[in-house]
């Protein structure tokens, strides 16, 4: 098992190798990350194979566990360590397969971009970080990788940084997720102060013995971090904007892997959430709200990528619902299936965008005839997303609703079903808009094999998991008898109803439907949805603008008040100096000078007596003598 | 009638006052010198008078008077020589012309 | 035995004298001489770092009577806290000379001043005698004053005088503290005073500690600088030449926080642990973090932005010091070193961009990555390191200071607010990157050339160290942790 560290290291090395190259050399060297991810994929499959027999039973004792210390702080040691267990091995497969498909797809998709080499470098770094994240054996390393992924996400969203929208979206994504990360970090502090370690084993093993308040605090703080990364309401606002990045990158980062890291984090720290209890309720509530809000917002989008982005938000909410009843399997299962079918949908959307030179669904149409293979794989992905038997999404959604009903959370189950209905509805809306109606553009052409092949692989997996759904479930640790026919029947019926409703609104009459009447009737709700439920506006008003105003205010304050005080002190000192100088000048020195001046003035007066005339002197002498005599006589 | 000391002193005082007035008010150096002589004569008269009336047996006052007359004669000779030198220099014996010592 | 520390401290002085004697007819020789001496100093410092025994306490001790009548000694020694900072200052001196390679206005004087600065900087961290310490402390002011006043920007005289007077005013209070300690304890020796303070029989009374702590606090807080004593910093940074900014941010600011760790905490332990001073330091640290970040956000001048970011980062150091915990002090020293590397790199890059564009106004610089991918990339790298991305040197220190503060008796709210500073750091740094590095190259940027190989080589050591320290924290912490343990055990923690 010594090859495990190579799985994340290879893409990391590919990144390091590309980094110092010139732009031209980098663009030619994209085979390097491709090769690295291919080898990682093979190694991941080997790792998965080593875990496969028995699967969940190996969860207690990791198959592989190695760590190296990077620092000693007091008594605590901080390690970088890797551990392999069923969940991480499944995640390895998901990440490497999707990354491989995306990278192969990008060869064709990004070929003409002058900075394709940089794109591959960042993609490699991202893959390495994500692989290291799922292999991490402690929370700190998880956090480190989590942040590095955030950077990669930032770089890829802002990849076309010539566009203002890309730059804005990139910074928004980084900052919004970092809001969550602060919660995560503080959660780490509480954890470390409580346990004295970041190790999964030490932390999770002792979680049950923590004071309930501590467990709730840590769980909620970790959840806050997860909400940022996994775009849960109310921290979801960055994900739709993140679609400004290249579509294949969106497929990998903003659909399949990075956004699922939050789910992974909650799944990993499930013992803490269970120790708290309250926190699980919060997870469930967050998941439900997000699943429904995300779905509703997807209904009114015209940009095909944004529909998929909101769909991702909604599906991530679904995963949180599964975790919210304490079922790691439900959450992780949906994470895995979602990763495949959503990245498939994104890649296919990329093909459509290239074909139509547009992202607006209103300007698409007729793709089913012009792009048959893309349409076919898109259909597979859509049906999986809608949760139609036997595609992969069916199994994982079913699992979530199953655990909800087993737990007695019927209200939540109803909510989840409602979200499922909306999902099916917007899937139908997208389908009938883009694929069936009259083409709104000309010169449509199918993608080349380089792009089709990865999509087909993903489609095959999506369909394939469908046929082996229970097997994967049991591998992850599913224990209840499956499928429950009632639950499966209800959820399938809801999904079909959603699709049918979508057809009713958008699919009849060849897709040429005027939805104005519906919009008019929904009025306020519709405009609220179009305005994205005012989340962005709220943040703009409550956080961004007050902060920028405060910052400028403080900058002025710094100069006009604090620096003014300093300068004022200097000026006051100057004034004191001047006053004391004057005092010195007038009083002290003035005294000295004054004596001199008095003598001078006296001399000036005395001069006039000094007429030079002897007789005057004599007169004076006479007067003096007379005065003297008078004096003597009077005195005498 | 017997002339008393007071009469001599009174004459001396009149002479001295006349001399003093002349020395302080006359503009010509020669007149000033003459006035100075008057004052010197007044002093000499005093000396003789005091000698005669206070100590008649000793002749000290008379001897002093003769000394003083000799000294003032020499003095006036010197002074007149200076006046002549000034006259040569300034073409005047007016004292107002001699203000070089003015401060 | 070789007087290694004296050589590290005074080799630049020899260099300064040699440089000062250079005739004006040879304007390119001083820089070569200065580089030679500083590289030799760096080699010595690296050697010292290599043979340093991390568990050995004070090392390379040199102790001779100097003015025996009043007990003043020539006493140099380093421990795990000062050793890395001395090595850092030796490195930054070399880099400061390299970035000043093209100085043509009175080069001999310039390089003399840089080397004189190096003497003071290393001396402060090596001195264990208060008089010697104070001497080096004040020695630093003079060359820095000249660097700003002669080679500075438009308002250089104002900035230089402000810098000089402000820090001088602070250090006068420190001098009062030193004298007070001498009168009460009868020693100028920092190590001896520490030992006296650790022993309850000889320790000062709490009241006395309180006031002496206050005196030292004023001296050090100005240097750090702590809000609201920080306003000399932006002016000094903006007006100083690049090398001046690098050394100012890289080393001079650390003198203040080093003083807290070396002097205030161990010699006045009861005062340092008192509610009053812990809260004062903690609140001022938090305010510095958030306030510096907010003001940095609103800056239009790149150098000013980096200067205010220094206020924010030094706030983290103060927070770690206020915590008085192992993690907090480890983190504080880590931030000191990391901030020296990262901010040094930022200032060097801003200087290199300024040389080409003749502007530092953010709105006039755009699209560096399009026109000059290396400069833009490195600026983005430094910004990302500065905002505390894990894997780079900015992260471990801030994590540890926050962790230490959380563990201490400080109010957790302070830690949460300080953690917001990390978010704000991302905001101002990325917004600066967004405006300068990203986008299309327009205006002044459209004609400039990318960094030369010489410039890249100047920056390379910093890049390597930033990554290395970010990944292998123990490279630094192995020195710091035992020394901090000693400090804390003396304080009775």
Could you report the per-residue pLDDT of C34-75, keeping only the tens digit for each?
Answer: 999 999 999 999 999 999 988 888 889 899 888 888 888 899
| Residues in chain C closer than 8 A to A562 (CB atoms) | 228, 230-231
Judge whether C443 lies within some domain.
yes
Rounded mean pLDDT of C139-150?
90
- Indicate if the pLDDT at residue C89 is higher than 60: yes
Residue in B24, B100, B101 nearest the CB of A615:
B24
Which chains are within 8 Å of A by 3+ CB pairs? B, C
Q: Both tokens of residue A405?
A: 């009903």
B20 reaches A (C-beta below 8 A): yes
Tell me the backbone φ, ψ of residue C366, rounded to 5 degrees.
-155, 155
Q: Report how far residue C416's alpha carbon sits from residue A183's, in angstroms, rounded to the nearest whole number.
A: 9
State the best of B16, B24, B29 to mutate against chain A, taking most chain A CBs within 10 Å: B24
Q: Both tokens of residue A58?
A: 């190996």
Does the distance separating the beta carbons of B20 and A622 come in below 8 Å?
Answer: yes
Judge whether C265 lies within some domain.
no
Relative orientation angle of helices A392-406 and A304-324, to the nearest 10 degrees: 40
Neighbouring C-beta atoms of residue A234, cutoff 10 Å = 15
Judge whether C266 lies within some domain.
no
> Does an H or E element contain C31, and which?
helix C29-51
**What is the extent of the structural domain holding C463?**
274-493
Judge whether C83 lies within some domain.
no
Residue A292: asked if its preceding bond is cis (omega within 30°), the reply is no
- The 10s digit of each residue's pLDDT in A374-433 is 889 999 999 999 888 878 888 888 888 888 888 888 888 899 999 999 999 999 888 888
- Indicate if the pLDDT at residue B103 is higher than 60: no
Does the distance separating the beta carbons of B96 and A611 come in below 8 Å?
Answer: no
Three-state secondary structure of A49-65: HHHCCCHHHHHCCCCEE
B79 reaches A (C-beta below 8 A): no
Judge whether C9 lies within some domain.
no
Q: Report how far residue C60's alpha carbon sits from residue C7's, in angstroms, rounded to the nearest whole number.
A: 11
Strands A64-73 and A76-84: antiparallel
**Pure H helices in chain B:** 5-25, 29-54, 60-90
Report the pLDDT value the prediction gives residue A545, as an integer from 0 to 100.
84
| Residues in chain A closer than 8 A to B103 (CB atoms) | 606-607, 609-610, 612
Report the pLDDT value the prediction gives residue C245, as an integer from 0 to 100.
92
The answer to whether A128 and A8 are in contact (CB under 8 A) is yes
CA B49 to chain A, closest CA, distance in angstroms equals: 23
Closest CA to C436 of C378, C355, C390: C378
Q: Report how far residue C77's alpha carbon sits from residue A430's, in angstroms, rounded to the nearest whole number.
A: 73
Higher-pLDDT residue of A619 and C179 is C179
Q: Band the pLDDT of B101: cuts 50, 70, 90.
A: low
- The 10s digit of each residue's pLDDT in A98-110 is 999 999 999 888 8
Tell me the backbone φ, ψ of residue A111, rounded to 5 degrees.
-50, -40
Q: What is the DSSP letter of A441?
A: S
Rounded mean pLDDT of A292-300?
89
Does the distance separating the beta carbons of A622 and B103 come in below 8 Å?
Answer: no
The number of C-alpha atoms within 13 Å of C463 and in the hemisphere containing its C-beta is 17
Tell me the backbone φ, ψ of residue C199, rounded to 5 degrees.
-95, 120
Report the pLDDT value the prediction gives residue A514, as an integer from 0 to 100.
65
Q: Band the pLDDT of B100: cuts 50, 70, 90.
A: low
- The 10s digit of each residue's pLDDT in A262-277 is 999 999 889 899 888 8
- The 10s digit of each residue's pLDDT in C216-233 is 999 999 888 888 888 888
Residue C253 CA: distances (Å) to CA of A37, C215, C317, C391: 45, 18, 11, 25
- Beta-bridge partner residues of A230: none
Q: Report how far residue A43's alpha carbon sits from residue B93's, in angstroms, rounded to the nearest whole number.
A: 137
CA A26 to chain C, closest CA, distance in angstroms equals: 13
- Angle (CA) A368-A372-A373 rounded to 5° is 135
Judge whether C17 lies within some domain.
no
Q: Band the pLDDT of A362: cuts 50, 70, 90.
A: confident
Residues 395-434 on C with a CB inside 8 Å of A are 395-396, 399-400, 402-403, 406-407, 415-416, 419-420, 422-423, 426-427, 430-431, 434
Residues 306-365 on C with a CB inside 8 Å of A are 326-327, 330
Higher-pLDDT residue of C349 and A76 is C349
| Residues in chain B closer than 8 A to A612 (CB atoms) | 98-103
CA-based R_g, chain A, Å: 38
Judge whether C294 lies within some domain.
yes
Three-state secondary structure of A89-134: HHHHHHHHHHHHHHHHHHHHHCCCCCCHHHHHHHHHHHHHHHHHHH
- The 10s digit of each residue's pLDDT in A445-456 is 787 888 888 899
Q: Band the pLDDT of A57: cuts 50, 70, 90.
A: low
Residue in B20, B32, B99 nearest the CB of A612:
B99
Q: Band the pLDDT of A597: cuts 50, 70, 90.
A: confident
| Residues in chain A closer than 8 A to B100 (CB atoms) | 612
Strands C59-67 and A64-73: unpaired
Domain count across chain C: 1
Q: Report how far residue A357's alpha carbon sits from residue C80's, in angstroms, rounded to the nearest whole number.
A: 61
- Indicate if the pLDDT at residue A1 is higher than 90: no
Report the pLDDT value the prediction gives residue A483, as an integer from 0 to 100.
66
The DSSP string of C312-376 is HHHHHHHHHHHHTSHHHHHHHHHHHHHHHHHHHHHHHHHHHHHHHHS--BGGG---HHHH-HHHH
Does the distance separating the beta carbons of A547 and C474 come in below 8 Å?
Answer: no
**Percent of residues, chain C, with pLDDT higher than 70:** 100
Q: Report how far residue A599's alpha carbon sits from residue A603's, in angstroms, rounded to the nearest whole number.
A: 6
| Residues in chain A closer than 8 A to B32 (CB atoms) | 615
Residues 441-480 on C with a CB inside 8 Å of A are 471-474, 477-478
| Residues in chain A closer than 8 A to C471 (CB atoms) | 70
Examine chains B and C and say if they touch (3+ CB pairs below 8 A). Answer: no
For all residues of chain A together, what is the average pLDDT? 85
Residue in C291, C295, C430 nearest the CB of A171:
C430
Rounded mean pLDDT of C394-419?
90
Report the pLDDT value the prediction gives residue B99, as an integer from 0 to 100.
67
Judge whether C82 lies within some domain.
no
Q: Both tokens of residue C395?
A: 């992260």
| ipTM given for this complex | 0.90
- Indicate if the pLDDT at residue C439 is higher than 90: no
For all residues of chain C together, what is the average pLDDT? 90
B95 reaches A (C-beta below 8 A): yes
Rounded mean pLDDT of C351-380?
89
| Residues in chain C closer than 8 A to A70 (CB atoms) | 471-474
Which chain C residue shows the shortest CA-CA distance from A129? Answer: C391
| Residues in chain C closer than 8 A to A193 (CB atoms) | 403, 406-407
Does the distance separating the beta carbons of B103 and A607 come in below 8 Å?
Answer: yes
Residue in C390, C419, C427 nearest the CB of A147:
C390
CA B5 to chain A, closest CA, distance in angstroms equals: 23
């Amino acid at each position: 098992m010594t090859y495990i560290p190579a799985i994340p290291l290879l893409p990391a090395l590919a990144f390091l190798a590309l980094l110092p190259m010139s732009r031209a050399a980098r663009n030619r060297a994209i085979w390097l990350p491709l090769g690295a991810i291919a080898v990682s994929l093979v190694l991941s499959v080997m790792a998965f194979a080593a875990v496969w027999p028995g699967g969940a039973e190996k969860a207690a004792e990791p198959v592989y566990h190695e760590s190296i210390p990077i620092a000693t702080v007091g008594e605590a040691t901080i390690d970088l360590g890797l551990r392999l267990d069923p969940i991480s091995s499944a995640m390895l497969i998901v990440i490497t397969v999707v990354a491989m498909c995306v990278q192969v797809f990008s060869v064709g998709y990004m070929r003409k971009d002058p900075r394709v080499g940089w794109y591959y470098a960042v993609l490699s770094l991202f893959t390495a970080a994500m692989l290291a994240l799922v292999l991490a054996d402690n929370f700190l390393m998880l956090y480190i990788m989590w942040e590095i992924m955030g950077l990669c996400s930032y770089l890829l969203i802002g990849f076309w940084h010539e566009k203002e929208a890309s730059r804005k979206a990139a910074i928004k994504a980084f900052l919004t997720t970092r809001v969550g990360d602060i919660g995560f970090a503080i959660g780490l502090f509480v954890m470390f102060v409580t346990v004295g370690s970041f190790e999964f084993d030490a932390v999770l093993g002792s979680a049950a013995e923590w004071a309930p308040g501590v467990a709730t605090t840590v769980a909620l703080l970790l959840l806050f971090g997860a909400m940022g990364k996994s775009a849960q309401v109310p921290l979801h606002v960055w994900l739709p904007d993140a679609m400004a990045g290249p579509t294949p990158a969106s497929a990998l980062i903003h659909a399949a892997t990075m956004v699922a890291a939050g789910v992974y984090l909650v799944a990993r720290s499930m013992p803490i959430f269970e120790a708290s209890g309250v926190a699980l309720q919060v997870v469930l509530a967050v998941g439900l709200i997000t699943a429904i809000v995300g779905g509703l917002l997807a209904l009114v989008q015209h940009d095909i990528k944004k529909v998929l982005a909101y769909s991702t938000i909604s599906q991530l909410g679904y995963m949180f619902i599964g975790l919210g009843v304490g079922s790691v399997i439900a959450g992780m299962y949906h994470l895995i299936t979602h990763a495949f079918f959503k990245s498939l949908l994104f890649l296919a959307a990329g093909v459509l965008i290239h074909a139509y030179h547009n992202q607006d669904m209103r300007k698409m149409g007729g793709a089913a005839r012009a792009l048959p293979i893309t349409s076919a794989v898109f259909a597979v992905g859509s049906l999986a997303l809608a949760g139609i038997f036997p595609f992969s999404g069916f199994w994982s959604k079913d699992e979530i609703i199953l655990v909800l009903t087993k737990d007695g959370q019927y209200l939540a189950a109803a909510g989840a079903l409602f979200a499922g209905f909306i999902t099916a509805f917007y899937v139908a809306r997208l389908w009938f808009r883009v694929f069936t109606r009259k083409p709104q553009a000309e010169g449509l052409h199918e993608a080349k094999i380089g792009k089709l092949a990865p999509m087909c692989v993903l489609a095959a997996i999506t369909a394939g998991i469908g046929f082996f759904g229970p097997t994967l479930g049991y591998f992850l640790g599913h224990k209840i008898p499956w499928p429950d026919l009632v639950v499966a029947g209800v959820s399938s019926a809801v999904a079909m109803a959603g699709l049918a409703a979508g057809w009713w609104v958008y699919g009849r009459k060849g897709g040429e439907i005027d939805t104005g009447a519906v919009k008019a009737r929904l009025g306020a709700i519709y405009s609220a949805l179009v305005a994205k439920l005012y989340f962005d506006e709220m943040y703009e008003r409550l956080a961004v603008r007050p902060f920028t105003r405060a910052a400028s205010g403080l900058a002025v304050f710094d100069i006009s008040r604090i620096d003014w005080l300093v300068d004022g002190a200097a000026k006051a000192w100057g004034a004191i100096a001047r006053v004391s100088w004057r005092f010195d000048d007038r009083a002290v020195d003035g005294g000295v000078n004054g004596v001199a001046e008095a003598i001078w003035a006296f001399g000036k007066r005395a001069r006039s007596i000094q007429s030079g005339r002897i007789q005057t002197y004599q007169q004076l002498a006479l007067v003096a003598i007379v005065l003297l005599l008078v004096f003597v006589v009077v005195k005498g | 009638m017997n002339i008393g000391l007071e009469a001599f002193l009174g004459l001396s005082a009149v002479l001295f006052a006349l001399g003093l007035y002349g020395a302080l008010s006359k503009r010509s150096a020669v007149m000033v010198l003459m006035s100075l002589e008057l004052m010197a004569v007044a002093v000499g008269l005093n000396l003789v008078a005091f000698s005669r009336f206070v100590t008649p047996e000793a002749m000290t006052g008379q001897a002093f008077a003769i000394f003083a007359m000799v000294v003032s004669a020499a003095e006036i000779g010197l002074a007149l020589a200076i006046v002549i030198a000034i006259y040569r220099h300034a073409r005047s014996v007016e004292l107002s012309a001699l203000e070089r010592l003015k401060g | 035995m070789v007087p290694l520390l004296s050589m590290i401290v005074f080799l630049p002085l020899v260099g300064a004298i040699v440089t000062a004697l250079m005739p004006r007819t040879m304007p390119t020789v001083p820089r070569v001489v200065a580089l030679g001496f500083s590289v030799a100093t760096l080699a010595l410092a690296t050697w010292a770092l290599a043979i340093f025994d991390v568990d050995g306490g004070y090392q390379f001790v040199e102790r001779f009577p100097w003015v025996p009548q009043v007990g003043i000694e020539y006493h140099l020694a380093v421990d795990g806290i000062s050793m890395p900072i001395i090595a850092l200052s030796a490195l930054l001196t070399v880099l400061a000379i390299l970035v000043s390679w093209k100085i043509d206005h009175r080069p001999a004087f310039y390089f003399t001043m840089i080397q004189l600065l190096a003497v003071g900087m290393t001396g402060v961290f090596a001195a264990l005698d208060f008089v010697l310490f104070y001497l080096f402390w004040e020695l630093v002011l003079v060359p820095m004053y000249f660097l700003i006043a002669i080679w500075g920007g438009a308002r250089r005289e104002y900035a230089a005088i402000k810098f000089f007077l402000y820090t001088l005013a602070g250090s006068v209070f420190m001098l009062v503290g030193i004298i007070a300690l001498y009168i009460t304890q009868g020693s100028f020796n920092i190590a001896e005073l520490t030992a006296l303070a650790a022993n309850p029989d000889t320790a000062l009374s709490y009241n006395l500690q309180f006031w002496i702590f206050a005196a030292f606090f004023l001296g050090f807080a100005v240097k750090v600088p702590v809000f609201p004593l920080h306003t000399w910093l932006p002016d000094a940074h903006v007006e100083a030449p690049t090398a001046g900014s690098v050394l100012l941010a890289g080393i001079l600011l650390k003198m203040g926080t080093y003083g807290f760790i070396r002097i205030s905490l161990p010699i006045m332990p009861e005062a340092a642990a008192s509610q009053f001073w812990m809260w004062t330091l903690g609140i001022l640290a938090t305010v510095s973090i958030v306030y510096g970040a907010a003001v940095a956000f609103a800056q239009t001048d790149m150098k000013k932005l980096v200067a205010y970011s220094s206020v924010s980062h030094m706030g983290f150091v103060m927070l770690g010091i206020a915590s008085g915990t192992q993690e907090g002090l480890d983190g504080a020293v880590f931030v000191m070193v990391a901030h020296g590397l990262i901010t040094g790199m930022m200032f060097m890059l801003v200087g290199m961009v300024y040389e080409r564009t003749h502007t530092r106004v953010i709105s006039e610089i755009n699209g560096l990555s399009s026109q000059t991918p290396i400069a833009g990339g490195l600026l983005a790298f430094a910004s990302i390191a500065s905002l505390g991305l894990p894997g780079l040197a900015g992260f471990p220190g801030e994590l540890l200071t926050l962790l230490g503060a959380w563990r201490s008796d400080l109010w957790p709210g302070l830690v949460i607010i300080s953690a917001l500073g990390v978010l704000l750091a991302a905001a101002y740094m990325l917004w600066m990157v967004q405006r300068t590095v990203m986008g299309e190259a327009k205006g002044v940027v459209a004609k400039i050339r990318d960094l030369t190989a010489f410039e890249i080589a100047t920056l390379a050591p910093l890049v390597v160290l930033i990554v290395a320290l970010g990944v292998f924290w123990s490279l630094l912490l192995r020195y710091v942790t035992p020394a901090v343990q000693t400090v804390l055990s003396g304080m009775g923690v």
